[in-house]
Chains A and B, each alone.
Chain A
Amino acid sequence: MNTHHKTYNPYVSPFDPCPPIQVKTYSTPPHLYMGYQPPNLQQFTPSEALRAGTIWKAFYDPYYNTLEMAKEGIQT
Chain B
Amino acid sequence: MWIYEKKLQYPVRVGKCNPALAKYLIEQYGGADGELAAALRYLNQRYTLPNKVIGLLTDIGTEEFAHLEIIATMVYKLTKDATPEQLKEAGLGDHYANHGQGIFYHNASGVPWTAAYIAAKGDPIADLYEDIAAEEKARATYQNLINLSDDPDINDTLRFLREREIIHAQRFREAVELLKEDRDQKKVF
Residues of chain A touching chain B, judged by Cβ–Cβ distance below 8 Å, are 27, 29-31, 34-37, 39, 50-54, 59-68
Residues from chain A with Cβ under 8 Å of B10 in the complex: 50, 53
* Closest beta carbon of chain B to A55's beta carbon, Å: 9
Give the B interface residue count (CB, 8 A).
26
Name the residue among A51, A59, A65, A68 with the largest chain B CB count within 10 angstroms. Answer: A65
Main secondary structure of the interface of A (DSSP, over half): loop
**Cβ A27 vs Cβ B143 within 8 A:** yes
**Cβ A63 vs Cβ B174 within 8 A:** no
**Cβ A52 vs Cβ B163 within 8 A:** yes
**Cβ A54 vs Cβ B163 within 8 A:** yes
**Cβ A59 vs Cβ B170 within 8 A:** yes
Asked if B149 is an interface residue, CB under 8 A from chain A, the answer is yes
**Cβ A65 vs Cβ B160 within 8 A:** no
Nearest chain-B residue to A60 (Cβ)? Answer: B163
Q: A31 contacts which of B140, B152, B170, B177 (Cβ < 8 Å)?
A: B170
